[in-house]
Amino acid sequence: MKRTIIVTALLLSALLPAAAQHPLCLVNGTPTENIDAIPPEDIEQVEMLPADEQTIARYGEEASEGVLLITLRYDRPAAFAADTTFGSYIARQVRWDDDEPAARVILRYKVTPDGRTVVVQELESTDNRLKRRVLKAVEEAPNWQPAQKNGVPVESEGVLSIQLPEGKALPRPVELVYR
């Protein structure tokens, strides 16, 4: 009977997908429950250790379903100096009246080791007026506290998405249909 239970458990564990299992997650060596909030661009390396004797001996019983080691590009993420998120701050700085059409700008930016915000790439822009105003607000924004790796400031990246006026849907693009 005991052997049947062991064989059944081994078969089930082999058949269950890895996503159904809950490995021990270590981010920069610190156990972490929620890794969904980690932006993919902040991840430097990911390594999955099997649930073998060596892994369990090193990490303890919590590693009985394996260990997911995630190394970030930094030890401490960049922090925006204002009292809100960067996107909310920029949206408040841009003047865009409710009677203007809904528009969106999405930019990739980097935070330099000295804390400046530099736009790296325009990912989307539905209105050039909004884009100019957002770029000006980013240029005039206060400096960040830069990300740090081993106590040294390092460059980090982010994506800024601004849609104004808030709550107003973007117009659908015009589509031509030939019949």
Q: Which DSSP state fits 133?
A: H
- What pLDDT score was predicted for residue 89? 96
- Is 10 within a domain? no
- What's this model's pTM, rounded to 2 decimal places? 0.69
- What pLDDT score was predicted for residue 85? 92
Q: How many domains does the chain have?
A: 2
- What pLDDT score was predicted for residue 5? 37
What the block records as the tokens of 31 is 């156990």
Ranges of residues in the chain with a pLDDT under 50 are 1-19
pLDDT digit string (tens) for 98-130? 889 999 999 999 999 999 999 999 999 999 999
- What pLDDT score was predicted for residue 13? 45
In a shared domain, residues 60 and 83: no
- Which residues constitute the domain of residue 112? 79-164
Written as one letter, the residue type at 13 is: S
- Is 132 within a domain? yes
27 contact partners, CB below 8 Å, separation of at least 6: 35, 38, 70, 72
- What pLDDT score was predicted for residue 14? 44
In a shared domain, residues 83 and 158: yes
- Is 175 within a domain? no
- Is 5 within a domain? no
In a shared domain, residues 106 and 31: no
As a whole number of angstroms, the distance between CA 74 and CA 5 comes to 45
What the block records as the tokens of 1 is 């009977």
In a shared domain, residues 29 and 54: yes
- Is 7 within a domain? no
